[in-house]
């Protein structure tokens, strides 16, 4: 085997190993994501989980990089006035969780999502708004285009 073929073979094997590790990491993340999401969305006071993610088209001269711009649980609201602003802000979840362990799980989950932007991009895509809810015992995801300026 000549040196070029040897290095080409080595590079192909390394690339295959990296793809395998990335795939396993994404699958592990996805499984954890849905397991925790399902647990927290079982709380009757929580309506869903909202995520905005993407790559800005302009960043004042800085590099435009993918990021998570919002990741929070949305409580169920009793009136239309509150309902209208459910996606405006992150909500103080303490009022919606009676179990302190579940509150901590929800808070930590949102923090993990913010810090797992590479997995979030590969699993859910770029420039999307995601809204996860429970419907008939299954996690349902609505997605829409999200432009970041």
Q: What is the pLDDT of residues 15-54, one digit of tens each?
A: 999 999 989 999 999 999 999 999 999 988 888 999 999 9
Reduced to 3 states (helix: H, G, I; strand: E, B; else coil), residue 58 is: coil
Q: Quote the mean pLDDT of the chain.
A: 86
Q: Is beta strand 128-135 parallel, antiparallel or unpaired with respect to 46-54?
A: antiparallel
- pLDDT tens for residues 107-136? 899 889 988 989 999 999 999 999 999 999
CA 22, 24, 30, 32 torsion: positive or negative? negative
Q: Using DSSP, state whether 75 is helix, strand or coil.
A: strand
Banded pLDDT at 70 (limits 50, 70, 90): confident
* pLDDT at residue 146 is higher than 90: no
pTM over 0.75: yes
* Mean pLDDT, range 62-82, rounded to an integer: 81
Give the mean pLDDT of 81-97. Answer: 68
pLDDT category, 58, cuts 50, 70, 90? confident
Our CA angle for 132, 138, 139, nearest 5°, is 15
């Amino acid at each position: 085997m000549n040196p070029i073929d040897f290095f080409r073979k080595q590079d192909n094997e390394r690339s295959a190993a990296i793809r395998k590790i990335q795939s396993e990491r994404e699958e592990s993340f996805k499984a954890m994501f849905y397991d925790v999401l399902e647990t927290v969305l079982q709380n009757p006071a929580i309506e869903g989980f909202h995520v905005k993610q993407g790559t800005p088209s302009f960043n004042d001269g800085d590099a435009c990089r993918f990021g998570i711009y919002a990741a929070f649980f949305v409580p169920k609201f009793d009136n239309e006035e509150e309902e209208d602003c459910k996606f405006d802000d992150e909500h103080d979840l303490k009022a919606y969780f009676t179990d302190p362990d579940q509150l901590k799980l929800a808070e930590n989950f949102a923090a993990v999502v913010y810090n797992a932007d590479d997995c979030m991009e590969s699993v859910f895509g770029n420039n999307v708004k995601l809204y996860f809810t429970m419907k008939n015992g299954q996690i349902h995801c609505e997605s829409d285009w999200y432009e970041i300026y």
